[in-house]
Chains A and B, each alone.
Chain A
């Protein structure tokens, strides 16, 4: 047991548990989605398998596995298989940098026979891979030459997450930008025009919304000067006036709304689900997929929702932070705790917050009608990208103007209440400017013309059209 504790790094266990929990939750999210849909539409939803339909996900999974794995005759066999695998692979990779539980500090005492030269070296040998030693180990030697025993007490810290990358947020954006390929390759490999159109639409949708997504993340990044998700979460875990948690939702509400809209678009869900619009494209890029290949597409959609919602929580809702879950070691580093229970509780809090964001996803999906393609593109390029750019500029300017005058901000890099008020006012002013600017901007070209496609009810013989047309 001791060997496991000192040599197997914690992130191995966290990886197993986090992936298991997320993939298990995905199955139940599908049930939740169906229940919410049923509630919205005033029906009962799945209620046959198990109590309240709770075993429905298992039945669905079995159905996926046992169905005929059909592949169209002229589909590209390799790419057809590769596409759903790529989707799932990407989603699993993106879980890696989520900051589940801050930093765990462990103090350990070991006994070594004989005297030792370098206590630090021994301590390093008995520290799990990826953990950092804090301070100097304390050595106590007892006994005489032959029977000498050294007792070493040392302290190390490790991040309670799978991988604590310095480029955390950027890593997630990078990985998610690969997920487009699953859609586009799947759509193309099916050799079906509906799938193909669905894939093209999804690509245009996702790459357009990546720009405001990145920009709204950048507004948070410039506030803290770090791309590391754990650092960003830690910086949010203090209070203004002792009661209001310093979450970014209170300082950057506009960025939060932009981010939320963008992750809806990235997930290709209603109202942005033009890629799989049933009424137009049968089922979009996964029309030709069946059995577990379809299942992988389906699961990866929900896994993607979990990841993006978790990033949203980490950026805007303080991640694991909740009153009472602060650290007990160093007031300057509220993420550091010596209690494993607190770490686990933090992970649970993080997960519950994520589920709330996912609840918003589902609420939106069953409330709003689908946008038209040109509306989606207009929203991205004419509204959200300029807004996000202005927001980044205003945030940077506010920090530049007020930062040097704020002692606490200069000392710790934390957003003080003065700074928060300034940012909030900046947000409000920006909203007014944007509203005024939107009124002044030229209107978008009318795209909703009645196109007289041959054979449609708007079609008239060319002779009936006035010559001036």
Chain B
């Protein structure tokens, strides 16, 4: 009853074609915008391109039957992390169009390095024979994922939650420290807002 183009266990031609079309769609979306991330000089455009990469990768997770992971990718990565990054971009770019670019030599070196690496990786992948299941019928129920997370991976799970707590405290501390410093430094700098804060 559950609708899924991708969970079809029988490998029929129609399903194959649908999967292939969707794969190339998401792959072009992810790969093309990843290239945009690398070459774009405008930092906000970079961020938007990264959004499309993340969405494309989420689509690939859907194709791989990892539905929960696709949703997590969209909620946490695209909806949380990237928004945070865009916040950072907007708070730190003086004028929205400010840019500082790498030197031409650096760009040439980096790009040629990247091309060589890509060539090597693709050659490696193509020439290797991977031991794969012939017809993977992966259909991953979410409750099983929960059982695995709180069963086999309980210790990493708890460690990660402790880490998240530490990160939350750390980030809050760093952000708060900034404000305190700003108030101390208000006497030195003559900016309007700081002076106003001092008088209040």
Check A-B contact in the complex, CB < 8 A: yes
- Complex: how many Å from CA A159 to CA B4? 12
**Smallest Cβ-Cβ distance to A170: which chain B residue:** B71
Question: Are B3 and A451 touching (Cβ within 8 A)?
Answer: no
Q: Are A173 and B71 neighbours in the complex by a CB distance under 8 Å?
A: yes
Confirm or deny: A286 has a beta carbon within 8 angstroms of a beta carbon on chain B.
no
Known: A164-B1, A185-B48, A203-B83. 10 other contacts (CB 8 A): A166-B141, A167-B68, A167-B142, A177-B75, A177-B79, A178-B55, A180-B79, A185-B44, A451-B197, A451-B200
* B51 CB contacts on chain A under 8 angstroms: 178, 181
Query: B104 interface residue, CB < 8 Å from A?
Result: no
Question: What is the minimal beta-carbon distance from B39 to any residue of chain A, in angstroms?
Answer: 14
CB distance from A336 to the nearest CB of B (A): 10
Q: Mark B47-73, 1 if CB is under 8 A from A, else 0.
A: 010010001001000000001101100
Known: A174-B75, A181-B48, A207-B83. A452 touches B199 (CB 8 A): yes
Interface residues as binary, B71-86 with A (CB distance below 8 Å gives 1, 0 otherwise): 1001100111001001
Smallest CB gap from B141: residue in A: A166
CA distance A170 to B51 in the complex (A): 19
- A-B CB contact pairs (8 Å), 17 listed: A74-B97, A159-B3, A164-B2, A164-B3, A166-B67, A167-B68, A167-B71, A173-B71, A174-B75, A174-B78, A174-B79, A178-B79, A180-B83, A184-B86, A200-B87, A200-B90, A454-B192
Asked if B196 contacts A165 (CB within 8 A), the reply is no
Q: Which B residues lie at the A interface, using CB under 8 A?
A: 1-4, 42, 44-45, 48, 51, 55, 58, 67-68, 70-71, 74-75, 78-80, 83, 86-87, 90, 96-97, 141-143, 192, 195-197, 199-200
With A82-B48, A164-B1, A181-B48 given, is the CB distance from A170 to B75 under 8 Å? yes
Interface string of A183-201 (1 = CB under 8 A from B): 0110011010000100010
Q: Name B68's closest neighbour in chain A (CB-CB).
A: A167
Closest residue to A464 on the B side, CB-wise? B199
State A158–B1 Cα separation when bound (angstroms). 6
Cβ–Cβ < 8 Å partners of B1 in chain A: 103, 131-132, 157-159, 164
- Shortest distance from the beta carbon of A178 to any chain B beta carbon, whole Å: 6
Which residues from A are CB-within-8-Å of B68? 167, 170
Q: Nearest residue in A to B139 (C-beta to C-beta)?
A: A166
Determine whether the beta carbon of B3 is less than 8 Å from that of A450.
no
Q: Is A404 an interface residue (CB 8 A)?
A: no
Q: Check B142–A207 contact: CB distance below 8 A.
A: no
Q: Which residues of B contact A171 (CB under 8 A)?
A: 71
Using a CB-CB cutoff of 8 Å, which residues 259-294 of chain A contact chain B? none
Decide yes or no: A79 and B67 within 8 Å by CB, A132-B1, A167-B142 being known contacts: no
A74–B42 CA distance with the chains assembled, in angstroms: 14
Residue B78 contacts which of A79, A164, A177 (CB distance < 8 angstroms)? A177
- Report chain B residues within 8 Å CB of A454: 192, 195-196
Residue pair A207, B2 in contact (C-beta under 8 Å):
no
How many whole Å from A353's CB to the nearest CB in chain B? 24
Contact indicator B45/A76 (Cβ below 8 Å)? yes
Smallest CB–CB gap between B80 and chain A, Å? Answer: 7
A132 proximity list for chain B (CB < 8 A): 1
Closest to B140 in A: A166
A214 to chain B, nearest CB (A): 8
- Most A CB within 10 A of own CB, among B75, B87, B192: B75
> A437 at interface (Cβ–Cβ under 8 A)?
no
Q: Which residues of B contact A196 (CB under 8 A)?
A: 90, 96
Question: Is the pair B196, A227 in contact by a Cβ cutoff of 8 Å?
Answer: no
Contact B3 A165, beta carbon cutoff 8 Å? yes
B45 contact set on A, CB distance < 8 A: 76, 78-79
